[in-house]
Structure 1
Amino acid sequence: MSENGPPVVLVVEDEPDVAETYRRWLRSSYDVRVAPDGATAMTELDGDVDVVLLDRMMPEMAGEEVLREIRDREIDCRVAMVSAVDPDFDIVEMGFDAYVTKPPDRDELTGTIERLLDRAELNDDLQEYYSLVARQSALQAEKTEAELAESDEYAALVDRIERERERVDEELGDMSTDTEFVGAVREIMDDEGGE
């Protein structure tokens, strides 16, 4: 993570106009790097990168592959998947920290980055919990209650969230009685588009 200067945001986007728009929106607050494809993104990723805005649909190396490589390499950064593709149950196994549906506006993009920077300070278990909740929220925003109820993937995700919550409870005390935590979870659900 960057220690001196503004946080570093890596924009991975194959549409030059979109990448330039993001860069212009963010450059006053962040050190912005731009990669036009997955392979370039992997060469740009280093310990200084704090947040990656990752296009899901790119030729040659899709966003999911880049995300998997980031996690396999254990690069310590937060990743927001930015996509025109509405989330489906395949996102349950993706290790992103936020899901933003294109086209985002400036406030949505900067708000997402700020939330991810705040979460970067948390321990690994809490980060995992927030990541799982982000996936749940993305699905809740796109799917009906009936679709969610019929999905084995969604049921497994809900179980994982509960297990992760129990693990964090053991470390931090009972979160269900911690009003700050409950408020934070509600805020995440609202920010991610959940119900």
Structure 2
Amino acid sequence: MTDGEDPVVLVVEDERDLADSFAALLDGDYSVRVAYDARAAVDLYDETVDVALLDRHMPGPSGDEVLQHIRDEPGDCGVGMLTAVDPAPDIADMAFDEYILKPASRNELTSLVESLLRRTTCDEALRRHYRLTNKIALLEEHLEPAELSASEEYQRLQAELADIDRTASEAVAELDSEDVGAILHSDSEP
């Protein structure tokens, strides 16, 4: 996103009325591009896209494949899966930032876009932390405890999150008062 320009949001949804509804809800606050299938999404995506909202299941290539295309291309796009597909352990390896079940209100949609825009300013380690905590919370909300304990994907996500938390704790513990002062001082400067 360049200064002075509206953030660019790519809406990918095969149900035209729903896609147009999402676009209408976002139009005015954002520059919105709409794709009604995965092929059009790939054509419309470039590094100027700040946020992509993807449906998972569409005829032809899926939203999962569009997600992979976005992650393989240059750019720092925040991706929200906006779908009717309940999350399952298969989400563990998907590189989305948020996962929201349809339908979504205007407030939910704009909140999702704003959250994704804020995250694009974070470093990759923090974005990875957000992704992992989001996936864990989704699985905990939609799966039974027995399913969670049997899921290798869920256990792997928890181990990855614990590693990130441990590394962050160790880094913070190594900071001395001068480091903390320098960090606080640099954040307060314009």
Match of 1:146 in 2: 146
State whether structure 2 residue 70 is matched by structure 1 residue 57.
no
How far off is 1:170 after superposition? 4.9
Q: Matches of residues 77-156 of structure 1 in structure 2 within 5 Å?
A: 77-156=77-156
**Number of equivalences:** 173
State whether structure 2 residue 54 is matched by structure 1 residue 41.
no
1:100 aligns to what SS in structure 2?
strand
**What TM-score does the superposition give when structure 1 sets the normalisation length?**
0.83
Question: Does the Cα contact within 8 Å between 2:47 and 2:74 map onto a contact in 1?
Answer: no
Bigger-Rg structure (1/2): 2
2:51 aligns to what SS in structure 1?
strand
2:42 aligns to what SS in structure 1?
helix
Deviations 1:18-54 (A, max 9, x none): 0011011100211111011111111111121110000
Give identity over the alignment, percent: 42
1:58, 1:144 → 2: CA distance? 27
The one-letter code of the counterpart of 2:21 is: T
**What TM-score does the superposition give when structure 2 sets the normalisation length?**
0.86
2:50 aligns to what SS in structure 1?
strand
Question: Does the Cα contact within 8 Å between 2:53 and 2:80 map onto a contact in 1?
Answer: yes
1:53 aligns to what SS in structure 2?
strand
Question: Does the Cα contact within 8 Å between 1:79 and 1:97 map onto a contact in 2?
Answer: yes
Structure 1, unpaired ranges of 5+: 175-195
Match of 2:25 in 1: 25
2:157, 2:89 → 1: CA distance? 10
Question: Does the Cα contact within 8 Å between 1:2 and 1:47 map onto a contact in 2?
Answer: no
Question: Does the Cα contact within 8 Å between 2:13 and 2:35 map onto a contact in 1?
Answer: yes
Structure 2, unpaired ranges of 5+: 174-190
Match of 1:70 in 2: 70
Question: Does the Cα contact within 8 Å between 1:2 and 1:50 map onto a contact in 2?
Answer: no
Question: Does the Cα contact within 8 Å between 2:48 and 2:75 map onto a contact in 1?
Answer: no
2:10 aligns to what SS in structure 1?
strand
2:161, 2:30 → 1: CA distance? 32
Match of 1:16 in 2: 16
1:31, 1:60 → 2: CA distance? 26
